[in-house]
Chains A and B, each alone.
Chain A
């Protein structure tokens, strides 16, 4: 099973870019990397996903290394509202309907 490793916490200054790393060294060739976040007292929120090319949307950018063993989620201009727990998820079983959230990274954006 592909598993992910994330740092437990990180701080970021408001207005600066936040770079969130994720290691997934056992990822297989057809598995996507997904990022979610959960702001306190809210439901999880889908951010972005990718296979091997870098991806960008209105929320963030996802950079996946060429060997696909790690990725970085980039919040280009962090705001206080980006304070949340961020989860990196790799799809493990195509017949498994659940999302397996690990402990994630608690990101605190400071003014």
Chain B
């Protein structure tokens, strides 16, 4: 299994509070991704990174920001959590030569009350 960890694995928070999720990899892969998975919507890309300090928006980026100061870490921040952001969040990594071969982390279950 690819060396990808996510923290925390579970979190309960209140509406309006900021939340930061962390993805850490030991594979030295250049590309990193944040997805959310919800019933009826499948996996949706939130943000991705194609290198240190290089990030871009995915299809559902509103209300989220990301940062990547080191190759191994990709942070996802919910600036002011809302109940609609209750979801399971997955981090993934890949190499530029094969962006479709993505390796996923175990996920973070977030509940916003």
Residues of A within 8 A of B (CB): 32, 34, 41-46, 49, 89, 91, 97-99, 101-103
Contacts and interface: CB of A to CB of B under 8 A. Distances in A.
B64 interface: no
Interface stretch (B12-20, B40-48, B65-73, B76-84): B40-48
Interface of B: 31, 33, 35, 42-45, 48, 50, 56, 58-59, 90, 92, 99-107
Contacts of A99: 43, 45, 92, 100, 102
Contacts, number: 50
A22 B50 CA distance: 31
B100 A32 contact: yes
If over half of B's interface residues share one DSSP class (helix, strand or loop), that class is named, otherwise mixed; here it is strand
A91 B90 contact: no
A46 B42 contact: no
A42 B107 contact: yes
Contacts of A89: 100
A101 B100 contact: no
The 3 closest A-B pairs by CB, nearest first: A43-B104, A98-B45, A101-B42
